[in-house]
Chains A and B, each alone.
Chain A
Amino acid sequence: MALKKLDKDTIIAMVLVSPSILAVLIFVYGFIAWSVRVSLSNWIGLLPDYEFIGLGNYLGLLKDPRFHIDVRNTLVFTILFVGGCLFLGVGLAILLDQGLRGESFFRSLFLFPMAISFIVTGVVWRWLMNPAMGSRMSGLNLLFDSLGLDFLVNKWHTTPNWGIAAIAIPAIWQMSGYTMALYLGGLRAIPESLREAARVDGASEIYIYRRIVLPLLWPVTLSAMIILGHISLKVFDLIIAVAGKQVALDVPSVYMWTTTFDGQFYGRGASIGILLLLSVAVLVIPYLYQTLREESTT
């Protein structure tokens, strides 16, 4: 009797959950395998062509100057974006942890950009970072100029070679509040008794932060670096919204999109997609492995 009941429940459970699991297996893992197959083909043009050409597309990217720009831009962007978010995030979290008035208001204020799409952010910052000079000056440059901060006036994303650095500014604007929230969670988890004990021993507040609080926040920093790092590898819409499709500001995700859907180079596009996946996997899988192991031991 009990066995029969179990069987019925098992069948219901399978019926309920298998469509979703199948969908993920097909649409995520099956499609990844399919992309790998496309990346090993010479498919150019609208009609699929699966003729096997080995690693040709990947080797082509190694010699492709545009892909070199992409890798460099991604590196510059990642360092500035992750670094900026961590710096602002931990700073704001410590600031908000001082028991100031209006704490929850400011917390919401720093966090609200998270709710907005990268497209909206990009369109607005495109005007804030308007690079026009002289009589056509506007945006932040105009503001700097009228405040007497002329030395800050710059060409933003049109700066030769370093334009990608300007794209990190709206990205930091959008994601630093989130980083702050991660750090605030970490700060709140540190027992107050620990800090109290250090105070009793005569430690200064700065000493307490440097020697006790920041080291204890290391796990938060690590997760934040991985989450922000994988966002930065995937950055796409923000660049499109600020600057459109410019080779100077190209990154792999934009290259994949334009070469595949504008240029019809499906084989090359797939190989860029797979390289992106590999870079995200290298970053994320050790972290997920660690998280899952911790979860199963607790």
Chain B
Amino acid sequence: MRARVADAPRRPPTRAWLYILLLIMSIFYLLPMYVMLVTGFKSFDEVSLKTMWNLPSGLALDNFVAAYNQLAPHLWNSLRLVIPTAAISAMLGSINGFVLTRWRFPGADIVFPLLLFGMFIPYQSILIPLVQFMRTTGLYGSIPGLALTHIIYGIPITTLTFRSYYITVPKEMVEAARIDGAGLLETYYHIFLPVSAPAFVVVLIWQFTAAWNDFLFAVVLTSPENWPITVALNNLAGSQIIAWNVQMAASLVAAIPTLIIYIFLGRYFLRGLMSGALKG
């Protein structure tokens, strides 16, 4: 904004170059989307690797129908996984974040670093015990087992996201509630919960995307009939029978839910990324 006022009239040729650079970069980021879209909308007869960069002559849905037929049960699995995961994660995170903001308990100084580091661990380092645990409890192979996994390993990030949000609630409000005789739960219900919507959106989106996009936990913990979309897509892409054009359409189908969230709630998505990666 500030630069536009000062520079725009002074140096027009440079600015033209900047736009050209911007367009070239845009092509790099759009290439995969372009291939997914033009391939997806070609009819089976029109598809060939030779012409993969050409636009389709019409809008055929053959590929999407074929992809959907392949993936439908797994899309459903992903939904069954992601919705409870996101909801439970957000509730847990909110309560944990609230309690840890309000209550300085003995050992708090150890809990935060432990939570924080828990966000970064490579899951290969807990995978064998996790599988043993799931086998023993009979949750191995199932969607609830996978959901539980995402909820537990999501506790650090959801708790810390809510905590960093709740820290900004003015102390005076909490103090006033305390003087009015409000206990811990009343304080949460009347003061913190009503202002929590943005933090809930951030955490819901974060956990939705994390669980939808996850591959490692899913491929290790679920049996084929319970595969979520990522495992099914990877399996489809590795098979010799499914044509590449169907794979492109299937990739788009698998990407659409998180893309829609990104398009409509992108700024919250970004906030989730930032809080997750930077401050913890």
A residues apposed to B, CB below 8 Å: 5, 8-10, 12-14, 16-17, 20-21, 23-25, 27-32, 34-35, 38, 48, 88, 92, 95, 97-100, 106, 108-128, 130, 136, 138-139, 142-143, 146, 173, 177-178, 181-182, 185, 192, 223, 227, 230, 233-234, 236-237, 240-241, 244, 252-253, 256-257, 260-261, 266, 269-270, 272-274, 276-277, 280-281, 284-285, 288-289, 291-292, 295
Contacts and interface: CB of A to CB of B under 8 A. Distances in A.
B213 A261 contact: no
Q: What 9 pairs between A and B have smallest CB-CB spacing?
A: A117-B213, A99-B4, A115-B262, A138-B49, A277-B125, A31-B126, A237-B215, A273-B124, A31-B129
Given A12-B183, A121-B32, A276-B122, A111 B270 contact: yes
**Main DSSP-derived SS at the B contact region:** helix
Contact of B274 (A48, A106, A181, A234): A181
B35 interface: yes
Nearest to B97: A17
A181 B255 CA distance: 21
A288 B273 contact: no
19 contacts: A13-B105, A17-B99, A24-B115, A24-B155, A31-B129, A31-B133, A115-B255, A119-B215, A120-B230, A121-B32, A122-B237, A128-B32, A178-B273, A223-B278, A237-B215, A241-B215, A274-B125, A285-B117, A295-B279
B234 A240 contact: yes
Contact of B99 (A16, A110, A289): A16
B137 interface: no
Interface stretch (B57-65, B138-146, B190-198, B246-254): B246-254
B259 A95 contact: no
Contact of A92 (B25, B111, B130): B25
Nearest to A172: B28
Nearest to A272: B124
A212 B221 CA distance: 50
Contacts of A192: 2
Given A31-B130, A88-B25, 13 more contacts: A17-B103, A98-B7, A108-B266, A116-B258, A118-B213, A128-B35, A182-B277, A223-B277, A257-B124, A269-B124, A269-B127, A272-B124, A276-B125
